[in-house]
Structure 1
Amino acid sequence: MNLRYLFLVLISSITFAQNGTFPVAKVDSIVKNIQLPVFSSYQINILKLGAKGDSITDNKKIFDKAMALCQKKNGGTIIVPKGIYKINGPIHFVSNVNLKIEKGAKIKFSDNPKDYLPLVLTSWEGTMLYNYSPLIYANNCTNIAISGEGTIDGEGGKTWKTFKAKEGKGKELSREMNHTNVPVEDRKFGENYFLRPQMIQFLNCKNILVENVRIENSPFWCLHLLKSQSITVRGISYKSLNHNNDGIDPEYAKDVLIENVNFDNGDDNVAIKAGRDHEGRMNAATPSQNIVIRNCNFKGLHGVVIGSEMSAGVQNVFVENCKTIGYLKRGIYLKTNADRGGYIKNIFVHNIQLDQVEDCLYITANYHGEGKGYQSDISNVHFSNITCNKASESGIVIQGFPEKKIKNITLTNIEIKETKNALSNENAENVLMTDVFIGKKASVPTAVSKQ
């Protein structure tokens, strides 16, 4: 081999290995850049407005009045004291408001779809459209929070649950409108289309805090961070086991900190998205980026997912110091297909403890084998200090395309103690493995036996 070529290969390998180390300074910079909301001293207790926490009385008008009073005062805190507060319809935020749900308090939403009309601008599985209002909804707001130690109950297990079997017509129409560039104002859904609303959605918002509350029984995705930035989600917990009950979905989101969250979800715990197909690619200037996920307990379908709706691109994601507290199908899951385009790059996953999963680390560019013409770029993905007690199917899976290979993957200090299939590495290049143990560790070789 030419010595100059060998030198360049060695320098490239060393640089690549260094880049694969967990970038603490970058994480600190992102967190420092996130601004917490600031509120005025004005407070209003909903009991003083006539609210009744008897689980029967409709308090919709009371919450609307509290928001209006805060808007008049240029912001403040709405206090929800102990009790069960039925609300027949959505809560729509205004700027500079902290909705504080105190310990022992529960907001319980109705499950009558008509209560969530008129239609609002929202998104459904990566496509912008008009649909039922999310149960808690903020559009173009700044400095907003949901805090306290109370509970938000979406009543998603009855009427909304029946929508899943009937959503096909609406789902396919939304995707067709996406692919054919139908103007968003003409994408009207709602009644007779059966697309369930999100529990909480922040759209085009900035300086957001969701802290310590418990989220239960969502109709659809639980917390959707859509086209928003400077977001802190910390100390919250879940028990939401209905169809598609993702825990947190950052989409076209920037500067996000997710920490100290206890997940228990019927779907992905964190699913990072960035729009779907044609519409997503048209929004390439607003990828999901600068997302930190740390000190979380995973339980549900998948721990951290990127995709499959990621067509505007996902970059600069940092996952550290997380573990499972129950079943996961997959620990870390990067998924896209040839309909999506876009990219996934600069992903760092460090210090993760998984108990029992089906697949431990899974990267695929061929999700469901669907699509053509828009293969995604996946590159610079780094896994380090990861343990898994048992993967009932596969330890590590990497699936690219012959003509669009997955590039620059590092796996450092990985231990998967038991698995059916150890490693599947297809159409990938520059995969560097250091101290990777799958199955029982090999000991020193034994001596030749005597004849």
Structure 2
Amino acid sequence: MKYKYLFLVLISFLSFAQNKNFPTAKVDSIVAAIQLPVFPSYQINIAKLGAKGDSVSNNKAVFDKAMALCKKNKGGTIIVPKGIYKINGPIHFVSNVNLKIEKGAKIKFSDNPKDYLPLVLTSWEGTMLYNYSPLIYAYGCSDIAITGEGTIDGEGANIWKSFKAKEGAGKNLSRDMNHNNASLEERKFGEGYFLRPQMIQFFNCKNILVEGIRIENSPFWCLHLLKSESITVRGISYKSLNHNNDGIDPEYAKNVLIENVTFDNGDDNVAIKAGRDHEGRANAATPSENIVIRNCHFKGLHGVVLGSEMSAGIQNVFVENCKTVGYLKRGIYIKTNADRGGFIRNVFVNNITLDEVEDCLYMTANYHGEGKGFQSDISNVHFSNIVCTKARESGIVIQGFPDKKIRNISLNNIEIKSVKNAISSENAENVIMNEVFIGQRATVPSAAK
């Protein structure tokens, strides 16, 4: 009986050890399953519809007309030529449309909150509610894209930025409604609540492409992929440094490829989410899953974050071949707390180069020390081939709970060349380290004197 038990433990250990290798075949299968959008041949140039790229004229009606013409023709491409096109209000997508912003073109949104009424169904920090329309909004669409070499400017640095100091009451009300299971009809925000809209939000959409564009000056999160699937984001760049300017937020999202992105934004570069607290746990059938992040340049607050709103669960995340181009607070950050529940599992991070960070790899189940009753399950997280020049604070942090330990963590070929605190690990089990160097590498032992 003793030998049988030993055999099972050995098999379990070997299986876990094998899983630490980066699963390229799984990544390939996810990417192969993602469908790029397909568009009819119909095209409309907004300049020919009367749009003026003079940075002053309001082109809202022209963009609405272009979208209506595409709907009438069952889709098409809206071409935005060189110029600065002011729009006093949101762009609302229909299916089968490519918004192509050409080189030298900029769409510049107004910063008057009244322009983003009436309210639309959206989500704010993990809670479903009605709020100001995102500046570019697609609901229930398929085969949609934003492409080209032009720029989208959200004008987020003035009026919208001032909302941050006033949002507390509205934010807390939204969370109370989440916890108390208030009906959606009751969750009406907008004027007087100061919850900023996202720059771009694709909600309940599929077959999405965002390629080549530049995102600047967002009011809030830059690109929110909400309850959507089959998504490709590639070759885009950022210069958006306002409050909470997350670069890309997949939330309840499935089959996502993020590649060749140059980040420079005022919060997380990629923040994978899956709803908050009671509402998120009620949506456990739709976790965020099958997300590939590769060949990106990180600059901002954190590189890749999982959480903290992740109550429906996050699984099958693959981060590979990325590096920083400046300071990050944290390189890879997994965060949740005892209000969330849910799970984070099957995360693979490989071939990452970080320059200077505060903390290199950080996993915590006790984010902000908040919450009770709904501890999250964090397991099967694998780091390999990571080099960090300097960590001002900690190299590797793992923080579980005594009765809900973080488990099955592998660290293979990790080098953190300069660091204040090497490793802080508590309430973790089955943590395997191989070829891990923190601080100066040891050589042969010195002889006795």
TM-score category of the 2 structures, normalised to the smaller one = over 0.9
Whole-angstrom CA distance in 2 between matches of 1:260 and 1:373: 40
- Residue 401 of structure 2: aligned partner: 401
Are 1:279 and 2:279 matched, yes or no? yes
**Residue 432 of structure 2 aligns with which residue?**
432
Deviation at 1:9, TM superposition (A): 3.1
Query: Which runs of 5 or more structure 2 residues have no equivalent in the other structure?
Result: none
- Residues of 2 paired with 1:135 and 1:214: CA distance? 15
- Residues 207-246 of structure 1 show CA distances to partners (whole Å, capped at 9, x for unaligned) of 0000000000000000000000000000000000000000
Aligned positions, number: 449
User: Shift in Å at residue 447 of structure 1?
Assistant: 2.3
Mind listing any 5+ residue stretches in structure 1 that lack a counterpart? none
Specify the code of the residue in structure 1 equivalent to 2:259. Answer: E
SS of match in other structure, 2:310 = coil
The residue aligned with 1:222 is 222
In structure 1, distance between residues paired with 2:11 and 2:171: 50
Alignment partners' CA distance in 2, 1:280 and 1:7: 40
What letter is aligned with 1:331? G
- Report 1:43-442 matches (<5 A): 43-442=43-442
Partner residue, 1:10 = 10
Task: Specify the code of the residue in structure 2 equivalent to 1:255.
Answer: N
Supply the distance in 2 between the matched residues of 1:92 and 1:339 (Cα, whole angstroms). Answer: 34
Is the partner of 1:163 in helix, strand or coil? helix
SS of the aligned residue for 1:308 comes to coil
Q: Deviations over 1:108-165 (max 9, x none)?
A: 0000000000000000000000000000000000000000000000000000000000
- SS of residue matched to 2:65: helix
Letter in 1 for 2:288: S
The offset of 1:107, in angstroms, is 0.2
- For residues 325-344 of structure 1, give each alpha carbon's deviation from its aligned partner in whole angstroms, at most 9, with x where no partner exists: 01100000000000000000
The CA distance in 1 between the partners of 2:8 and 2:355, in whole Å, is: 40
Q: Structure 1 residues 7-16 or 339-348, which shifts more?
A: 7-16
Code of the aligned partner of 2:38 = V
Deviations 1:268-312 (A, max 9, x none): 000000000000000000000000000000000000000000000
| Residue of structure 2 equivalent to 1:33 | 33
TM-score, normalising length: structure 1: 0.99
Give the Cα–Cα distance (whole angstroms) in 2 for the partners of residues 12 and 38 of structure 1. 45
Task: State which drifts further: 246-255 or 3-12.
Answer: 3-12
Structure 2 SS opposite 1:321:
strand
Tell me, in whole angstroms, the C-alpha distance in 2 between the residues paired with 1:204 and 1:84: 30
Distance in 2, Cα, partners of 1:27 & 1:148: 27
Alpha-carbon shift at residue 2 of structure 1 (Å): 5.2
Rounded to whole Å, the distance in 1 between the matches of 2:129 and 2:123 is 5
Partners in 1 of 2:9 and 2:297 — Cα distance? 40
- SS of 1:18's equivalent in the other structure is helix
Distance (whole Å) between structure 1 residues aligned to residue 5 and residue 404 of structure 2: 25
Q: Deviations over 1:387-408 (max 9, x none)?
A: 0000000000000000100110
User: Once the 2 structures are TM-superposed, how far is the Cα of residue 6 of structure 1 from its aligned partner?
Assistant: 4.0
CA deviations 1:14-48 (Å, max 9, x no partner) are 21110111100000000000000000111000011
Q: 1:445 Cα deviation (Å)? A: 1.3
Name the SS of the counterpart of 1:115 in structure 2: helix
1:444 positional shift: 1.0
SS in 2 for 1:164: helix
* Cα distance change, pair 7–445 in 1 and its aligned pair in 2 (3 A): farther
* Residue aligning to 2:19: 19
Letter paired with 1:359: D
Shift of the alpha carbon at 1:3?
A: 4.8
**1:11 Cα deviation (Å)?**
2.7
Displacement of 1:421 in angstroms is 0.3
Q: Distance in 2 between matches of 1:334 and 1:98?
A: 34
Comparing 52-61 with 181-190, greater Cα deviation is found at 181-190
Using a 3 Å threshold, how does the CA distance of structure 1 residues 445 and 10 change in structure 2: closer, same or farther? farther
* Secondary structure of residue in 2 paired with 1:448: coil
Q: Cα distance, 1:198 vs. partner?
A: 0.1
Identity %: 82
- What is the TM-score with the length of structure 2 in the denominator? 0.99
Q: Distance in 1 between matches of 2:185 and 2:414?
A: 49
**Quick one: which amino acid aligns to residue 32 of structure 1?**
A
* Amino acid of the structure 2 residue aligned with 1:121: L
Q: Matched residue of 2:15: which SS?
A: helix
Tell me the secondary structure at the aligned position of residue 446 of structure 2. Answer: coil
